[in-house]
Amino acid sequence: MRNDDSPPPPESGSSVNPDRPWFTRRSTLVVGVAALAPAALAGWVLTQAFAGSGSDGVRSAPQPASHSALSPGQRDAKPGSTPSESASTSPSASTSSPAAAPAPAPAKGPLTGKTVVVDPGHNVGNFNHTDEIDQQVDIGTARKECDTTGTTTNAGYKEADFTLDVSRRLRTALEAQGAKVVLTHQADRPWGPCITERARIGNEAKADAVVSVHADGVSAGNRGFHVILPAKVKGGAADTAKIVAPSRELGERIAGNFARTTGSAPANYLGSGTGLVVRDDLGGLNLSTQPKVFIECGNMRDAKDAAQLTSPEWRQKAAQGIADGIVGFLGG
């Protein structure tokens, strides 16, 4: 049974009568809807484009995407990461990621533009290479062994371990003041270097100051530190005439600051209580063309001095005292 309001189906092969009222109304409606469809679609697109932000500026949560529709970087992202975070993990995102932050600029300070060479006395490997370090080298005024093992505390703490630790702390302190610091070695070689090479490193660096770090090994009861200065010597490759005066000033600065910072007294067994000793038999000094001193920070064979030398806190003070002396010498 057909409802009176529904249009009758057209007969096969016949044309639709344009005068029928119900068709006219329906045709007008269809045309109108067709005309409105593109506008509605455009409006929907605009609505979706702006749906990410509400009037209060809070972004609405995105709809979850299917796993297969995500990029490899998004699929591998950690839970809770944002799309931008996920994209940064994908290989393709690396081309558009921001450049890495530049390395921090070197510290500026009173030693800016200055070069300091720090020479950690001996090398722990020397104990296993006695044949190599016993070879004789020319120090200008004589011939001496290439290097020695250095001493130890009665408990076996090696001078070479002490000197390297203090030297690294000293480097840090000097770099904080703006200096360029060169270490003659960092126990990164089996033995040595020879005393001739140690001197050459300072010369080739055109160092403004060179300090060789040591600890003494004399009998118990002999306590305190001393700084060794170059004597005026000339012979062979040795000629210290130009460095004697500035080396003494460097040594005096270090001695004063070392005593004040560490609380250690000048040696009671040489130097007449001044903490300063002049020697002409050390190749590291004889062959240097740059201001240079040695510092013997204490006596490893004395129990009281050894207690200080084996203390990390005291070694930090020792490094700071030496650094302060160098700053006083080079920084005015």
Distance CA 173, CA 34 (A): 81
- Bridge partners (DSSP) of residue 238 are 235
The set of residues, in sequence order, having a beta carbon less than 8 Å from that of 102 and lying 6+ positions away, is none
CB 311 within 8 A of CB 263: no
Distance CA 254, CA 294 (A): 10
The set of residues, in sequence order, having a beta carbon less than 8 Å from that of 96 and lying 6+ positions away, is none
The catalytic position among 197, 252, 296, 313 is 296
Catalytic site includes residue 296: yes
**Both tokens assigned to 192:** 């040595």
CB 295 within 8 A of CB 254: yes
313 three-state secondary structure: helix
279 three-state secondary structure: strand
215 three-state secondary structure: strand
User: How do strand 180-183 and strand 234-235 relate by DSSP bridges?
Assistant: unpaired
* DSSP 8-state assignment for residue 69: G
Give me the active site residues, please.
296
